[in-house]
Amino acid sequence: MSTQAPIPANLTAAQTPKWELGVSLLLNFWPPLTDAVACQWGGADSSDKRDWLCGTIADLWSSIPDADEYEVESTLVQVMEDEFEVALEDDSAYEVAKKVVDLRRQIAEDNFSAVDALHQRFLSKPRGQMILPPRVEAVDQDAGSSDEEDDDEDDDEEMGDAPAAAAPAPKEREEPEVDQDGFETVRRRKR
């Protein structure tokens, strides 16, 4: 449990909207959740699941008055696994949970500067910017030690020449060209 002042279970009518906005902004800036929604790992209603998670975290203190960062982290991890099938292998859920708890303390003290800064950061994001799914790098299957390469070369020498093929070899498929915005260039087929 944290050594700071207790986290308030109830907020005033003026604090509640700031609290809900702050939780929503914190979770919308959390990369694992952003990626899960952008890639629709939670299905077609991934953004609705994100909004539901924001509400769940915002309402956590009404069901668990003594909730702390560990309770928030546990909820985040469980929802990511259950709803988005994402197993988090880093401490990002705990880091976000600490920010959520700190934000609740600040708002309870009528300090809205952190929420206002998050909101300003959100508003300054370029509008209409397409969110691309996370990029997965191709794994080089040929990477290995030089001993393995030497063994492969020896095997090639023992095989001998292949007989000439009667049919022409199939053309290799050209890799698509992707521009800097992530769009594939469409080419006309040759007749």
Query: pLDDT tens digits, residue range 126-151?
Result: 765 545 555 555 555 555 544 444 44
pLDDT of residue 148: 47
CA distance 94 to 2: 13
pLDDT of residue 180: 74
Segment 6-27, tens digit of pLDDT: 677 789 999 999 999 999 999 9
* Domain membership of residue 39 as a residue range: 17-123
pLDDT of residue 181: 72
Residue at 158 is within a domain: no
User: Where does residue 152 rank: exposed (0-12), middle (13-18), buried (19+ CB within 10 A)?
Assistant: exposed
- The count of domains in the chain is 1
Residue at 91 is within a domain: yes
Residue at 102 is within a domain: yes
pLDDT of residue 120: 94
Residue at 181 is within a domain: no
CA distance 126 to 32: 20
Assigned token pair, 40: 């629709």
Low-confidence ranges of the chain (pLDDT < 50): 1-2, 130, 145-153
Residue at 183 is within a domain: no
Residue at 103 is within a domain: yes
Residue at 81 is within a domain: yes
* Rg, C-alpha atoms of the chain: 26
Residue at 72 is within a domain: yes
